[in-house]
């Protein structure tokens, strides 16, 4: 190795040491703040929500550090040589990169699983957790490789407009996933059964009928083997409505509380929020992909190896994408909160007795040990729903108005 190459290698190693030391200091500051200084507001005597915030901010830079390390490492070599075709080279490179990602993130994922068990949030067995973890990573890997291969092919064939071609590809993928995920992917993780014939089901069907929803499928999901928290959701578009209630919700909440929650979920379908979400996702993807192309052209184009389909371009593309997704996350969270607020208002308007509504929010917060009134920047980065305190206040204002 020449003296110049040795000097360059040493400089990059020193640079990575600074990044790692900076990350360690960052983690110490984050955990110190959330454990000792964060103004947690909760209905229960638990710091679980603070730990959740701390873990969220701890893991955010992991992708960036990994990709920066890969970028700096591959710059120390004059070239990367791979045997086989371009697609085989991409597969080999992507598999190696994803393996490093799993190696780095696994300790954080597993430690958080242990924390959730300790606080009584999770009761999933180790075997089930590892199976879900493996399925999630496999699906993530397959999706990521598909996008990488497509992106490099578009860059090769459409050097200036590849980002637009990739965006057009995302349209059928998004619509496809809206239909496929509930039917094929979700059952990989959980068992779904038709909702049992009970008076509660008839009351739910009455809500569905009043909302003029046809051909709705009512399902209950087995989550009691995994968690103690409550939830319900709706998915499907274009007449493909599926309302899913966790069995923990059916077992742990009162009937009036469940009906209010279901009125909220029905509102998402009535107001076409799933379709609106898909459209919003496509609009944001358009902007993100355009910015990705601009930043990639400036950053990668400044390298001495300018071939845009070089596999060494992959970490550059992923790093820029990851950063842009983080930057746009507050926008995504805000849109989601607006839709959730609209659904809350619908549920309030279609509920006669509102005290169970307020009780349902309290019960949700107690069971999940959540932060009911987070500071503003936590809310903007993490909360896809209005805070529990905001939702309770909305109900209480309506109760006062009716009185």
pLDDT of 227-264, one tens digit each? 999 999 887 666 667 889 999 999 999 999 999 999 99
The one catalytic residue in 265, 310, 371, 403 is 265
**Average pLDDT, rounded, for the chain:** 89
- Which residue, 248, 264, 251, is CA-closest to 207? 264
pLDDT band at 89 (very low <50, low <70, confident <90, very high): confident
Lowest average pLDDT, out of 45-54, 205-214, 242-251, goes to: 205-214
Q: How far apart are the first and last CA of the chain?
A: 83
How many Cβ atoms from other residues are within 10 Å of residue 62's Cβ?
A: 15
Mean pLDDT confidence for 312-319: 92
User: Is 73 part of any known ligand binding site?
Assistant: no
Active site residue 344: yes
273 among annotated binding-site residues: no
- What is the average per-residue pLDDT within 210-222? 86
pTM to 2 decimal places: 0.90
197 is an active site residue: no
d(CA 263, CA 272): 14
Bridge partners, 246 (sequence order): 221
pLDDT at residue 312 above 90?
no
Among the ranges given (156-165, 172-181, 302-311, 386-395), the one the predictor scored with the smallest mean pLDDT:
302-311
**Between residues 376 and 187, the one the model is more confident about:** 376
Q: Which residues contact 89 (CB under 8 A, 6 or more apart)?
A: 82, 311
Residue 6, pLDDT score: 56
Of the candidate ranges 133-142, 214-223, 236-245, 321-330, the one whose mean pLDDT is the lowest? 236-245
- Residue 356, class by beta-carbon neighbours within 10 Å (0-12 exposed, 13-18 middle, 19+ buried)? buried
Which residues, at least 6 apart from 9, have a Cβ–Cβ distance to it below 8 Å?
Answer: 1, 76
pLDDT band of residue 333 (cuts 50, 70, 90) is: very high
Instruction: Find the mean pLDDT for residues 288-304.
Output: 84
Q: How far is CA 121 from CA 5, 111, 188, 256, 383, in A?
A: 52, 14, 21, 24, 19
Q: How many CB atoms lie within 10 A of CB 327?
A: 11
Other CB atoms within a 10 A radius of the CB of residue 70 amount to 21
Distances (CA, A) of 276 to 186, 271, 280, 281: 21, 9, 6, 8
Cα–Cα distance for residue pair 375/39, rounded to 1 Å: 8
214 is in an annotated binding site: no
* Residues pairing with 220 in the sheet: 193, 245
Choosing from 344, 390, 396, 400, the catalytic residue is 344
């Amino acid at each position: 190795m020449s003296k110049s190459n040795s000097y360059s290698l040493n400089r990059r190693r020193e640079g990575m040491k600074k990044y790692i030391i900076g990350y360690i200091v960052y983690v110490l500051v984050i955990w110190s703040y959330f454990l000792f200084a964060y103004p947690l507001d909760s209905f229960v005597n638990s710091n679980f929500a603070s730990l959740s915030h701390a873990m969220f901010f701890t893991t955010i830079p992991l992708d960036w550090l990994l990709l920066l390390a890969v970028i700096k490492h591959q710059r120390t070599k004059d070239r990367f040589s791979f045997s086989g075709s371009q697609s085989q080279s991409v597969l080999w490179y992507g598999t190696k990169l994803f393996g490093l990602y799993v190696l780095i993130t696994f300790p954080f994922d597993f430690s958080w699983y242990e924390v959730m068990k300790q606080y009584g949030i999770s009761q999933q067995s180790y075997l089930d957790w590892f199976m879900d973890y493996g399925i999630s990573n496999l699906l993530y890997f397959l999706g990521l490789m598909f996008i990488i291969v497509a992106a490099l092919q578009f860059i090769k064939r459409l050097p200036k407009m590849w980002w637009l071609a990739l965006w057009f590809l995302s349209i059928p993928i998004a619509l496809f996933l809206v239909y496929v995920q509930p039917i094929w992917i979700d059952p990989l993780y959980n068992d779904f059964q038709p909702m049992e014939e009970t008076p509660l089901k008839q009351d739910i069907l009455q809500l569905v009928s009043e909302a003029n929803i046809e051909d709705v499928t009512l399902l209950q999901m087995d989550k009691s083997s995994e968690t103690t928290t409550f939830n319900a959701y709706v998915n499907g578009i274009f007449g493909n409505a599926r309302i899913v209630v966790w069995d923990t919700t059916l077992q742990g909440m009162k009937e009036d509380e469940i009906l209010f929650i279901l009125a909220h979920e029905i509102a998402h379908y009535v107001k076409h929020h799933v379709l609106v979400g898909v459209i919003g996702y496509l609009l944001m993807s358009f902007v993100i992909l355009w910015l990705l192309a601009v930043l990639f052209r400036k950053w990668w184009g400044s390298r001495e190896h300018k071939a845009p389909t070089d596999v060494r371009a992959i970490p550059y593309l992923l790093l820029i994408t990851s950063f842009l997704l983080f930057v746009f996350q507050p926008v995504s969270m805000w849109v989601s909160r607006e839709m959730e607020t609209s659904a809350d208002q619908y549920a309030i308007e279609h509920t006669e007795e509102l005290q169970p509504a307020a009780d349902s929010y309290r019960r949700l917060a107690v069971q999940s040990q959540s932060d009911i009134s987070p500071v503003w920047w936590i809310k903007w980065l993490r909360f896809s729903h209005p805070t529990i305190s905001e939702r309770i206040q909305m109900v209480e204002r309506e109760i006062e108005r009716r009185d």
